[in-house]
Structure 1
Amino acid sequence: MELTKNLTHAKLFKSLVVIVLGSIALTISAKIKIPFYPVPMTMQTFVVLFLGISLGHKIALATISLYLIEGIAGLPVFSNSPEKGVGLVYFTGPTMGYLIGFLTACYLASKIKIDDNFFVVLFKLIIATSTIYILGLIWLGTLIGWDKPIFALGAKPFLLAEIFKIMLLALLTKQIIKIKKFI
């Protein structure tokens, strides 16, 4: 009985460490900007999908949730914080839909299986990433008005970078899934 209790505590501690480290990785991915035309690219969506694939939906959702809570609480974890604000004010700004989309994307990415072929993985990653943009565009349109060129402002500049990240992840997915055994 005591051994089972200790193993449960050890597993919980391990999960908490992974969640915190995942949140740190997501923060770092938000801060590193890669020069990309016409808009600089961050690796946030890559890390969101990576977390879903490698950690499974429970730990990945907990990781993304921690990241969002940190940002809402005022920690400068988001891509353009503290330069463009922090906390709830920043969160409810133009990027809120995208940030919420991280939750759906990591969940859907967690459904990729090791026996999925490359094209199935690619399709699932496209769907997962699309949820980030769909939620992001819905919120952006609601916030700034539907009379604006929402797609041109909130998705088009990022599509080439997303294709690159999705292709890279699709190529690495089999190896990433193997990480689950060690987590």
Structure 2
Amino acid sequence: MTDTAIRPVLAEAAWPAEGAMLQARRLGLAVLGIVALSLAAKIGVPMWPSPVPVTLGTFAVLTIGVAYGPRLGLATILGYLAIGALGFDVFAGSSASNNGLAYMLGGTGGYLAGWVVAALALGHAARRGFDRSIAGMALTLLVGNVLIYVPGLLWLHHLVAGGLFDATRFATPWEQTIAWGLTPYLIGDALKLALAALLVPGLWKLVGASRR
């Protein structure tokens, strides 16, 4: 294993801990991450007729994955999804009547699965120092976004082809899938990626300055 494969991630550098304090840090960060994800998911704009709204959830997931590292980042995302699966109103479009597993198997289901993959991948990238520079962070976030979109679009296409296809407006199910699940979000995602690409390296500079 090379030196770059064992670099500390942002959360570890900003809050060093050992022993019992290490466990307290992990638990505290996981709870904080779940709360942040829940709030970020509710800050959104509906993109009718698409069943997938534009939210800050992706921004929160990618930032948590990079800042927490692969293990804690993955645990935080899985914890958030588990809470949602139990019926708590933590997802973008969930409500008292539409929540839990029924909601997770709807239009956003593939994107939620992509969050898990992206958080794990970005955590590993952070271990290799890709989050220390704007260019490295931008590349990492771009890959993370692709990892979210791939399962998201595949699942949405499954739903469209399974009964949601509108032949009066779209030539094929894939055309409708792209129109519903990709093109409305590109500009918003570009802005969120740019913000995260600037934020995390900036936080690294603050952490480095505080250690001098």
Q: With structure 1 as the length reference, what TM-score do the two structures score?
A: 0.84
Q: C-alpha displacement at 1:103, in angstroms?
A: 1.1
Residue aligning to 1:121: 137
- RMSD of aligned residue pairs (Cα, Å): 2.7
Cα distance change, pair 123–63 in 1 and its aligned pair in 2 (3 A): same
Q: Structure 1: where are the runs of 5+ without partners?
A: 1-6
Residue aligning to 1:42: 55
Residue aligning to 2:66: 53
**Contact preservation (8 Å) 1:54, 1:179:** no
Deviates more, 1:83-92 or 1:44-53: 83-92
**Contact preservation (8 Å) 1:55, 1:180:** no
Q: C-alpha displacement at 1:171, in angstroms?
A: 1.5
Structure 1 runs of 4+ aligned residues shifted over 6 Å read 178-182
**Corresponding residue SS for 1:75:** coil
Residue aligning to 1:157: 184
Cα distance change, pair 32–98 in 1 and its aligned pair in 2 (3 A): same
> 2:133, 2:205 → 1: CA distance?
15
Q: C-alpha displacement at 1:33, in angstroms?
A: 2.2
Deviates more, 1:162-171 or 1:10-19: 10-19
**Contact preservation (8 Å) 1:30, 1:44:** yes
Q: With structure 2 as the length reference, what TM-score do the two structures score?
A: 0.74
Q: Which of 18, 23, 26 is matched with 2:29 structurally?
A: 18
Q: Structure 2: where are the runs of 5+ without partners?
A: 1-17, 163-171
Q: C-alpha displacement at 1:172, in angstroms?
A: 1.8
- Count, aligned residues: 176
> 2:98, 2:206 → 1: CA distance?
36
Q: Which of 90, 95, 98 is matched with 1:77 structurally?
A: 90
Q: Which of 51, 65, 79 is matched with 1:66 structurally?
A: 79
**Contact preservation (8 Å) 1:114, 1:177:** no
Cα distance change, pair 27–77 in 1 and its aligned pair in 2 (3 A): same
> 1:163, 1:177 → 2: CA distance?
22
> 1:90, 1:114 → 2: CA distance?
34
Residue aligning to 1:133: 149
**Contact preservation (8 Å) 1:41, 1:158:** yes
Identical amino acids, percent of aligned pairs: 34
> 2:160, 2:24 → 1: CA distance?
43
Cα distance change, pair 56–178 in 1 and its aligned pair in 2 (3 A): farther
**Corresponding residue SS for 2:95:** coil
> 1:179, 1:57 → 2: CA distance?
22
**Corresponding residue SS for 2:148:** helix
- The answer to whether residue 198 in structure 2 is matched with residue 171 in structure 1 is yes
> Which has more radius of gyration?
2
